[in-house]
Structure 1
């Protein structure tokens, strides 16, 4: 037979969040609910070096597709 979990052990609960479509779970006992912090400074990626400009590059950059 399958073992029954200990009924006295703390468990996660589902908590309704007012004004939200989704519910959330309480943190698992013994874990840190705070998200890991990312890098303090976000560096911009370096621009890639491209070949020489073509005759219609300026026009292509200015054009906007019709669905915009």
Structure 2
């Protein structure tokens, strides 16, 4: 018998964040950790619509329960 140990595959690690209640994971091997920029089509400005003086404010307002 030989004492050969196979190398462990790379894995995500748990990292404690000082001052935080939650830990975070390191990026998984073979992935891109930079976030993708997603656009919300509901928030895009509508071109060519008749706009009143309060339309922009009404579209940007968020109900209090959000």
TM-score category of the 2 structures, normalised to the smaller one: 0.3 to 0.5
TM-score (norm 2): 0.47
TM-score (norm 1): 0.46
| Higher CA-based Rg | 1
